[in-house]
Amino acid sequence: MSSERNVFGAMLQEFEGAARILDLDPGIWKILTKPKRQIIVSCPVQMDNGAIEVFTGYRVQYNITLGPAKGGIRFHPDVSLDEVAALAAWMTWKCAVAQLPFGGGKGGIICDPSKMSQRELEALTRRYTAEIIDAVGPDKDVPAPDVNTNEQVMAWFMDTYSMHVGHTATAVVTGKPVEMGGSLGRREATGRGVMIITRESAKYLGFSLVGARVAVQGFGNVGSVAADLLANMGAKIVAVTDWNSGVYNAAGLDIKQLIAYNRQHRTVAGFPGAETLTNAELFRLDVDVLIPAALEEQITVANVRDIKAKLIVEGANGPTTPDAHKYLHDHGIFVVPDILANAGGVTVSYFEWVQDRHGYFWREDEVNERLEAKMCQAFEVVLQTAQKFNVDMRVGAYIVAINRVATVTKLRGMYA
């Protein structure tokens, strides 16, 4: 199957290039390319109209060599086991790149939350939690928000788990409301991490972000925060697209007003003082920085030749297919891969987990300061590795990640 259509296959293709450079042991290779555990559950829910619907849910624990599985839960009509397994693998490499004591996990439920009431979403979340409860826990697997899930969903998950185990277990999930053990700075962490990596990349490439033209695909939590922070630094955010439409202004969009508009209208479409823009048109813009912060496989062989940006920072997971990435690299476009660029979220999730387990919480400036240090350190290590092996940043990041997981796998030995 083509990597353009198989997300897990795309992950394996990315893995293979780095593994060959490392001359990875064949046995370790086999271990690191197979998910440890794949769970499929049925979640019956009584809907508001009295009918019973049965939703399919997944949880994949890809690798737990470095620590408990860590990864979000997404609610989306297109969720599949292949997608969840790939995302769990990417979480494994992301945690290793950021040098966090976590493995990789991911979850998802096939549903359309836009067509469900709050009560139905709560019932679905609680049933899903109950179905996978034996596989999760602060020392086993720690979920977090992802596409179409949020702090409230994490609160329901934590409460359901706590009711089953008989005590309040705040560390079972991250991305919770601050009032119940969430960390300050967590909501903005992924977007802040994207900003930090964009800033460090521009510095390395030798151009200033002041006045730099930036296009952002996706205006959810990641894209909106990254756009706002970059605008505060003096960058000119000229284009933004979301699930519905897009907006463009060559002089730069007022991001704070756009965020307020988006909050009210649930889309950027119709924002005053801007032209309408499609995703296809966004990729064709002559910009300095492109931030894909939507879903997987957005930059493909079908549109990669349209891209004119000198820097791409992957805010989403797997937004660029391997064949498209090769084209970008061959044409001198600097791409910072997802497993490094969007690691800010899981890094502050780690901080939240630590704070929950100690029962002691940090100020927001402390969280941001620690995030800054972690992201800058990871960027520097990946850059040095890429230069050492004369490869691009994606291969460099995979070399760092695979080497860390493989080393610990060897040290732990084989249990039989």
The catalytic site residues sit at: 106
125 within 8 A of 161, measured Cβ to Cβ = no
Strands 334-336 and 311-313: parallel
Show the tokens assigned to 339: 């497993």
Show the tokens assigned to 121: 């979403």
CA atoms within 13 A on the CB side of 109: 28
Strands 236-241 and 213-217: parallel
Enter the DSSP assignment of 137: B
Show the tokens assigned to 348: 């502050």
Mapping DSSP to helix (H, G, I), strand (E, B) and coil, where does residue 414 land? Answer: coil
Q: Which of 317, 318, 349, 314 is nearest to 102 (CA)?
A: 349
Phi-psi region of 394 (alpha: psi -120 to 50; beta: other; left: phi over 0): alpha
**Separation CA 55–CA 52 (nearest Å):** 10
Indicate the residue type of 287.
Answer: V
Q: What's the distance, CA 195 to chain centroid?
A: 14
Indicate the residue type of 198.
Answer: T
- Helix (H) / strand (E) element for 369: namely helix 364-389
Enter the DSSP assignment of 36: S
Indicate the residue type of 381.
Answer: V
Q: Cβ contacts of residue 377 below 8 Å, gap of 6+?
A: 99
378 within 8 A of 97, measured Cβ to Cβ = yes
Using CA atoms, how far residue 233 sits from 136, 261, 315, 316, in Å, is 40, 21, 18, 22
Q: Across the strands, what pairs with 137?
A: 141
- Helix (H) / strand (E) element for 238: namely strand 236-241
Distance from the first to the final alpha carbon of the chain: 34
**Separation CA 167–CA 159 (nearest Å):** 9
